[in-house]
Amino acid sequence: GFPFNNYQRLAVFDNYLEDVARRFPDRVTLVNAANSFEGRPIKYVKISTTNFQDRRKPVIFIDGGTHAREWISPPTVAWAIHKLVENVTEPDLLERFDWILLPIVNPDGYEFSHTNERFWRKTRSSTSSIFCRGVDVNRNYDFFWGTSGSSSNPCADNFAGRMPFSEVETRVVRDIMNEHLSRIALYITMHSFGSMILYPWGHDGSLPPNALLLNFVGVQMGEAIDKVALPHFWEYLVGNSVNVIGYAAAGAAEDYAHLIGIPFTYTYELPGLGSGFEAFHLDPKYIEQVCFETWEGLKAGARTAGDLF
Ligand code: 0X9
Ligand code: ZN
């Protein structure tokens, strides 16, 4: 199984996806979506107990590792794979849904945060500056691109890129959304930190027409997590992105997903302890707990969104 006792390099995630695909061929399909800027394969799995190609069931799509330094994110996606394939305790989740699980959207940045700069956030693509690399994937979607909370300076951590979808990493997520658009009931992108569940619109804080339902599903998820969370973790806050996190940011994944028609779309800000950059580095002794409690949220989200879809 996957080693949840410590943070792992990209190769461990890649090997895990390959391993489960090999061991459970009737349930898991491994996809090598594209190569990152530096040539690393961006891998994801499709999980279905019937036949993914039948297109009969609603899809739950979860990604992680968009921001390189948010190391607690990828293991929560690996945990979901583990619970749907290796350690199935709730078969209804497989009977009702097909799943798409993409643990590391930004493999170049993730590796760079291990080898060079622990708090690297962006991709590693070349820019118009010879000194600065990388684009913020969560500013690179075509949703009010380049407006609030974004920079046109390639040296900034929130650089939106030279145009929408300039990054292959962003395009991989976009293409998954579009390929399965009509049946994706729930899209969640895993970030850290802050113990928050955020929903659209994140560029200006206005609310989409289904905000009441977005909030309802969000609260179900937050409460499911809080029920099993450690006492010294913060309680989850659920609400509109701008309202809850306190700043507007255009070009983000959950907004783009909702714009193109996915009804339930959220950014999770997973727990962090401490302040400033150190909060991105949650003590590895908490990885299992965060994975476990986050899975409670995901299950509640899938079931509630599934009922409403
Ligand atoms: O700023 C972000 O991209 C996210 N926070 S993080 O600290 N993980 O970088 C929040 C994104 C919230 N969603 C929208 N603004 N739509
Ligand atoms: Zn993030």
The position carrying tokens 């036949």 is 51
pLDDT of residue 209: 98
* DSSP-H helix ranges across 86-186: 92-96, 107-115, 168-179
175: tokens are 């293409």
pLDDT of residue 53: 82
The C-alpha angle 290, 286, 27, rounded to 5 degrees, equals: 45
Ligand 1 centroid to residue 19 C-alpha, Å: 32
pLDDT of residue 207: 98
Ligand nearest to the CA of 136: 1
Using CB distances shorter than 6 Å, the residues near ligand 1 are 67, 70, 138, 191, 198, 202, 241, 245, 249, 252, 254-255, 267, 269
Rounded to whole angstroms, the Cα distance separating 286 from 127 reads 36
Please list the pLDDT of the chain residue by residue as tens digits (309 residues): 999 999 999 999 999 999 999 999 999 999 999 999 999 999 999 999 998 888 889 999 999 999 999 999 999 999 999 999 999 999 999 999 999 999 999 999 999 999 999 999 999 999 999 999 999 999 999 999 999 999 999 999 999 999 999 999 999 999 999 999 999 999 999 999 999 999 999 999 999 999 999 999 999 999 999 999 999 899 999 999 999 999 999 999 999 999 999 999 999 999 999 889 999 999 999 999 999 999 999 999 999 999 999
115: tokens are 């080898």
Q: Which of 269, 278, 293, 296 is catalytic?
A: 269
pLDDT of residue 51: 87
> What CATH topology corresponds to 10-308?
Aminopeptidase (3.40.630)
Mutate to test the pocket of ligand 1, among 169, 191, 198, 238 (most ligand atoms within 8 A of CB): 191
pLDDT of residue 83: 98
Rounded to whole angstroms, the Cα distance separating 293 from 197 reads 13
Domain definitions of the chain by residue range: 10-308
pLDDT of residue 170: 99
* ipTM at complex level: 0.99
For ligand 1, atom 2, the nearest C-alpha belongs to 138
Q: Is 296 a catalytic residue?
A: no
